[in-house]
Chains A and B, each alone.
Chain A
Amino acid sequence: MERRLPQFFFVLSLIVLALMLAAVWQAGTPAWKTYQQEFHRLEAAGEPNAAAKSDVMNAALVIRQDLLPGLQRVDRCTTCHLGVEDPTMKNAPQPFTFHTNLAPHIPAKFGCTVCHGGQGLATDKLNAHGTVPFWQEPLLPKEYIRASCGRCHKEGEVPGVPELTDGRRLFETQGCRGCHKLNGVGGTIGPDLTEEGAIRRFPEWLERHFLDPNAVSRNSPMPNFHFTKEQARALTFYMLSLTSEQMGTYYSSVRLIPSAGYGRELFIEKNCIACHNIGGVGAKSGPDLSGVTKQHSPGWLDEQLVNPQMIYPGSIMPAYDLETNARKAIVAFMASATAEDAQSILSARTRPLTPQDAAIEAGKQSFARFGCVGCHGLQLQGGVPNPNSQGGEVPSLLHASDDYTKEEVIKIIQNGKAPPVEDTAKPAPPLYMPQWKSVLTDEDIHRIADYLWSLQKKKDAW
């Protein structure tokens, strides 16, 4: 024993060294590195000269990830799926294939797992595709991926996914809620379906279940509804889209969904119908918007919404302060808008449309844009403190037409006005109405006056 002890020590040290090397080797050769090297070879094959080739071949091997902080998701899929955004990889083998029709759902903003499922954090195929124990969202089979659209687009028709609309309608008309709870409403005989798309992502099982519940779930109390294949597929799509993860909210919070629905809201909010009409329904002072998306490119329309004067100098259309996606949403709405839409928007108004509305709307925009709201308030309620003026605050404009004629108001806007002073011994009030004639055109000023008067009339009507 004594004699062999050092030998023992030596052998064991060697074993520890070998194990350490094995661990280092294991950690140093993850599968994704092999994929990246292979992709670099593919890229190099497409490069014309040797220098570019070697540049590509020697590119660093790094884990790529898309951070979606609002969703607590981190998607590392593009670590291996390197050609997703590269059209030249259209015919490359997986995992390098180009993703057609990707825009506007770019990985940098949406990641991959939101639609495809799988485990975004993982960097090896088995784990990443989520077909492992303890991961509830395995990759969806190809034909069911479109079901994921419904995870964000929770209402209305989703373009290209009629199954979702059908599924939703079936769910609401077939009395599913009698047994199943969804978002807190429904019966308790069957399982709660609020999380169905997040926890039971086995489309084949779901589909067979809808065709005959007893075939896959023995003694299921669910009756056989004798759904057709299409109906079973539609319901499966709908089930797969059910999740309590607030995806739609997250994405709309970062204003990433320029949906037609959002566009319609903006169309109403910005009162476009005050000047424009769709298929002849609405006001006539601006052009008819039906078919406008066919006459002009999306880029042209976008520019028009950014700054109408740029495209048509002297255009009476005000420049609305709209974000990129808000503009896209409006364009999307205009592409699909019909005279019926315009009719429903009109009938939802509290007040019928008059020819004055175009001018009033423009006045409202000017009122907001030139900073009148800063002192007089968004609702013209006034109320900003102005010490030592009569009343002690900036006056409300809601009753302007009671105290002044329209001409007087126009004069005040043009030339400005110092507020009446309460106590001459004290310093003059800090706020006063500035001169606007050098900033605003007469037209603008008239429109603002029209706007003020329009509010007054509305008040009388009540």
Chain B
Amino acid sequence: MKRRSFLSWGTAGLVALWSAVGVSLGAVVRFLTPSVFYEPPQNFKIGNPADFSFGPPTFLAEEKIFVFRDREKGFAVASAVCTHLGCTVGYFQSDERFHCPCHGSVFGSDGTVQHGPAPRPLEWFEVTLARDGQLRVDKDHAVPASYRLMV
């Protein structure tokens, strides 16, 4: 038996085998990548404009957002997730600021950092009026703090 042919066929076989292993590894990564999410969607409707009161913002716990409604300026939606380490901030009517319970970050009512370790202001999300007259929030779409939707 010739050693050379033994090696060359074997080598070709190994190449094919390692390719199969490579394809499988790629497939495993895709297998582990979630294709559906069992969590609140990033883009959702929050209800009719009439559902929201004027004055202090309405907190939607599941969506983790604050909905501001102003008589003159209209609607704005702020994220309730602290930019420091992701705790949920609370709005205090007493000083009209957001306070993070974890590490003491304080944000002004426009979302800017006034105190504490938070590196960035709170995010503001785009809020639009859907075709059926409901407010639609898109968490994938950040907007400047000055953004307002007048209904």
Decide yes or no: A103 and B20 within 8 Å by CB, A2-B1, A6-B5 being known contacts. no
A16 at the interface (CB under 8 A from B): yes
- Are the CB atoms of B13 and A6 closer together than 8 Å? yes
B35 at the interface (CB under 8 A from A): yes
Across the interface, which residues of B come within 8 angstroms of A17, CB to CB?
16-17, 19-20, 23
B36 at the interface (CB under 8 A from A): yes
Across the interface, which residues of B come within 8 angstroms of A303, CB to CB?
50
B84 at the interface (CB under 8 A from A): no
- Are the CB atoms of A20 and B23 closer together than 8 Å? yes
- Are the CB atoms of A103 and B51 closer together than 8 Å? no
A12 to B, closest residue via Cβ: B13
B35 to A, closest residue via Cβ: A63
- Are the CB atoms of A20 and B16 closer together than 8 Å? no
Decide yes or no: A10 and B132 within 8 Å by CB, A3-B1, A21-B23, A108-B45 being known contacts. no
CB neighbors of A among B1-54 (8 A): 1-2, 5-10, 12-17, 19-20, 23-24, 26-27, 30, 35-36, 38, 44-45, 47-48, 50-51
- Are the CB atoms of A24 and B38 closer together than 8 Å? no
Across the interface, which residues of B come within 8 angstroms of A398, CB to CB?
none
A4 to B, closest residue via Cβ: B9
- Are the CB atoms of B10 and A10 closer together than 8 Å? yes
- Are the CB atoms of A14 and B16 closer together than 8 Å? yes
Dominant SS among interface residues on chain B: helix
Decide yes or no: A20 and B20 within 8 Å by CB, A3-B1, A87-B131, A324-B48 being known contacts. yes
- Are the CB atoms of B50 and A302 closer together than 8 Å? yes
B18 to A, closest residue via Cβ: A13
Across the interface, which residues of A come within 8 angstroms of B27, CB to CB?
20, 23-24, 27
Decide yes or no: A16 and B20 within 8 Å by CB, A6-B10, A87-B131 being known contacts. yes
Decide yes or no: A24 and B23 within 8 Å by CB, A13-B16, A103-B132, A306-B50 being known contacts. yes
Across the interface, which residues of A come within 8 angstroms of B9, CB to CB?
6-7, 9-10
- Are the CB atoms of A13 and B14 closer together than 8 Å? yes
Query: Once bound together, how far apart are the Cα atoms of A24 and B19, in whole Å?
Result: 13
Query: Once bound together, how far apart are the Cα atoms of A185 and B106, in whole Å?
Result: 61
Across the interface, which residues of B come within 8 angstroms of A85, CB to CB?
131
A454 at the interface (CB under 8 A from B): no
A65 at the interface (CB under 8 A from B): yes
A106 at the interface (CB under 8 A from B): yes
A67 at the interface (CB under 8 A from B): yes
Query: Once bound together, how far apart are the Cα atoms of A85 and B130, in whole Å?
Result: 11
- Are the CB atoms of A324 and B132 closer together than 8 Å? no
Contact check: which of A9, A20, A63, A87 meets B13 at CB < 8 Å? Answer: A9
Contact check: which of A6, A16, A76, A324 meets B47 at CB < 8 Å? Answer: A324
Give B72 Cβ to nearest chain A Cβ, in Å: 15
B19 to A, closest residue via Cβ: A17
Chain A positions 62 through 92: 1 when the CB is less than 8 Å from some CB of chain B, otherwise 0: 1101010000000010000000010100000
Give B62 Cβ to nearest chain A Cβ, in Å: 11
Query: Once bound together, how far apart are the Cα atoms of A324 and B58, in whole Å?
Result: 15
Across the interface, which residues of A come within 8 angstroms of B12, CB to CB?
10
Across the interface, which residues of B come within 8 angstroms of A11, CB to CB?
13
Across the interface, which residues of A come within 8 angstroms of B14, CB to CB?
13
Contact check: which of B6, B13, B26, B45 meets A13 at CB < 8 Å? Answer: B13
A103 to B, closest residue via Cβ: B132
Across the interface, which residues of A come within 8 angstroms of B44, CB to CB?
108
Across the interface, which residues of A come within 8 angstroms of B36, CB to CB?
63, 65, 76
Contact check: which of A12, A24, A106, A299 meets B132 at CB < 8 Å? Answer: A106
Chain B positions 48 through 75: 1 when the CB is less than 8 Å from some CB of chain A, otherwise 0: 1011000000000000000000000000
Across the interface, which residues of A come within 8 angstroms of B131, CB to CB?
85, 87
B38 to A, closest residue via Cβ: A67
Give A108 Cβ to nearest chain B Cβ, in Å: 7
Query: Once bound together, how far apart are the Cα atoms of A11 and B15, in whole Å?
Result: 11
- Are the CB atoms of B50 and A10 closer together than 8 Å? no
Across the interface, which residues of A come within 8 angstroms of B24, CB to CB?
20
Decide yes or no: A13 and B51 within 8 Å by CB, A2-B1, A65-B36 being known contacts. no
Query: Once bound together, how far apart are the Cα atoms of A306 and B69, in whole Å?
Result: 15
Query: Once bound together, how far apart are the Cα atoms of A106 and B7, in whole Å?
Result: 65
Across the interface, which residues of B come within 8 angstroms of A302, CB to CB?
48, 50
- Are the CB atoms of A13 and B35 closer together than 8 Å? no
Chain A positions 100 through 141: 1 when the CB is less than 8 Å from some CB of chain B, otherwise 0: 000100101000000000000000000000000000000000
Across the interface, which residues of B come within 8 angstroms of A106, CB to CB?
132
Contact check: which of A14, A62, A324 meets B51 at CB < 8 Å? Answer: A324
- Are the CB atoms of A9 and B48 closer together than 8 Å? no
Chain A positions 5 through 42: 1 when the CB is less than 8 Å from some CB of chain B, otherwise 0: 01101111110110011011001000000000000000
Query: Once bound together, how far apart are the Cα atoms of A9 and B26, in whole Å?
Result: 23
Give B71 Cβ to nearest chain A Cβ, in Å: 11
B2 to A, closest residue via Cβ: A3
Query: Once bound together, how far apart are the Cα atoms of A165 and B12, in whole Å?
Result: 74
Query: Can you list 15 residue pairs at the A/B interface with Cβ under 8 Å?
Result: A6-B6, A10-B12, A13-B16, A13-B17, A13-B20, A17-B19, A20-B24, A27-B30, A85-B131, A299-B50, A303-B50, A324-B47, A324-B48, A324-B50, A324-B51
Q: Which residues from chain A sit less than 8 Å from chain B, CB to CB?
A: 2-3, 6-7, 9-14, 16-17, 20-21, 23-24, 27, 62-63, 65, 67, 76, 85, 87, 103, 106, 108, 299, 302-303, 306, 324
The 8 lowest CB-CB distance pairs between A and B, nearest first, are A6-B9, A10-B13, A13-B16, A17-B20, A13-B17, A9-B13, A6-B10, A13-B13
Q: Which residues from chain B sit less than 8 Å from chain A, CB to CB?
A: 1-2, 5-10, 12-17, 19-20, 23-24, 26-27, 30, 35-36, 38, 44-45, 47-48, 50-51, 131-132
